[in-house]
Structure 1
């Protein structure tokens, strides 16, 4: 921690619980906002949503310092060409897809984009399964099956919806791109925003399967938040003050 030139921070379960920022995490971000980036598997909010929440806490971060799996999945879909896409996600993310020029359809999709979709239904599952069966490529925001909430409950995530799709149809590995952690995309983009090398950056997160594993694969050091986030950031503050 003392030698790190940059920090990548997970969001849910690390900086925030139930999308409410932990006070000690807010203190850390205010003190280190110029060398910190948020890298989150979140696929229901936009970068603007995050910047607004951070600004309310007196944290001034640039757009490129907030890297979100859902936004990046839609960016990749927009770059993939003009093929029509079935976008499974929150209404605000579908609005973002339209603003990016993605042609959204319900039938005959050449691309399926899977985000956390709180309106997921049998009909949407049927459409996705048949599109993939007919050769559509699949872009998945993240592989997480759940994330924690502020009431000690679990929130089903994008990976749970992916499991439903894969229970119905075989998805060839070459026909599916997973954008979020532990895939390298978010880590690389976060380091690019900070101008730091992987070896000089520390990933801080609460999930060993995504945060730690993904960082380690890139030669990046990682620190696991294995206690309440407030306790963790208090300890981290003490460590950095002795640097």
Structure 2
């Protein structure tokens, strides 16, 4: 499964290309080999394409914003396209700014939707507010279901799914909408950016529950890397075995 043989290569970020501020083995080589076929497709719900592109550039990885698709900004775009939506957003300052610039109406009183993204300041009081809003009929949109991603010290870093798990521990029968992987919406958003047909798609990721499951649902070829992989511990090992 050579990246050169595909119309589109959709690669996860954390655990595949980087871990925190560390560039992982094979990342540079994959960007070189995939070229314009590669899109970073990530459940990241903190950054915007521009902020992530700038951060990666500082790490020596040149990926333009139009080749980055993130669950957080995709969730904002999804809600901003709906008329009359008023959103209570739990997320980073960067995502809050992106939402405001997108024309999304952000409120603290009388929302129609709660948008749950990675929020490092999420507190017991925030959890109580979310439960109160959802119990009154407000709709829940979740940027991604990941409970964590691998940190550079080997410890898992909490993600949006950990906040969702807290909500579901109190409202176990709650219905909600997920934007990120493994749901198809994020993949479809990425493929719409390619100018030509994308008949052959390769997905690369480190999470069997989101990356692998999303690729399976859409019939894409898939490469699992990282500690949960049987064959390839990192992207470099995958690429070296293609030689």
The normalised TM-score by structure 2 is 0.88
Say whether residues 1:156 and 2:158 are aligned partners.
Answer: yes
Q: Is the 8 A contact 2:8 2:198 kept in 1?
A: no
More helix by share: 1
Instruction: Quickly say closer, same or farther: Cα 1:146–1:59, change in 2 above 3 A.
Output: closer
Structure 2, unmatched stretches of 5+, are: none
Aligned residue pairs: how many?
Answer: 239
- Aligned position for 1:137: 139
Q: Is the 8 A contact 1:9 1:39 kept in 2?
A: yes
Instruction: Quickly say closer, same or farther: Cα 1:122–1:234, change in 2 above 3 A.
Output: closer
Mapped to 1, the partners of 2:21 and 2:91 lie a distance apart of 18
- Aligned position for 2:188: 188
Mapped to 2, the partners of 1:42 and 1:129 lie a distance apart of 24
Q: Map of 1:54-133 to 2, 5 A cutoff?
A: 54-56=56-58, 59-133=61-135
Mapped to 2, the partners of 1:59 and 1:208 lie a distance apart of 25
Mapped to 2, the partners of 1:189 and 1:103 lie a distance apart of 22
The normalised TM-score by structure 1 is 0.88
Q: Is the 8 A contact 2:119 2:160 kept in 1?
A: yes
Q: Is the 8 A contact 2:25 2:234 kept in 1?
A: no
- 1:71 Cα shift? 0.6
Instruction: Quickly say closer, same or farther: Cα 1:210–1:19, change in 2 above 3 A.
Output: farther
- Aligned position for 1:201: 201
Alpha carbon RMSD of aligned pairs, Å? 2.3
- Aligned position for 1:14: 16
Instruction: Quickly say closer, same or farther: Cα 1:21–1:82, change in 2 above 3 A.
Output: farther
Tell me the secondary structure at the aligned position of residue 226 of structure 1.
coil
Structure 1, unmatched stretches of 5+, are: none
Q: Encode CA deviations 1:151-176: one digit per residue, 9 max, x unaligned.
A: 11111111110111122235543xx2
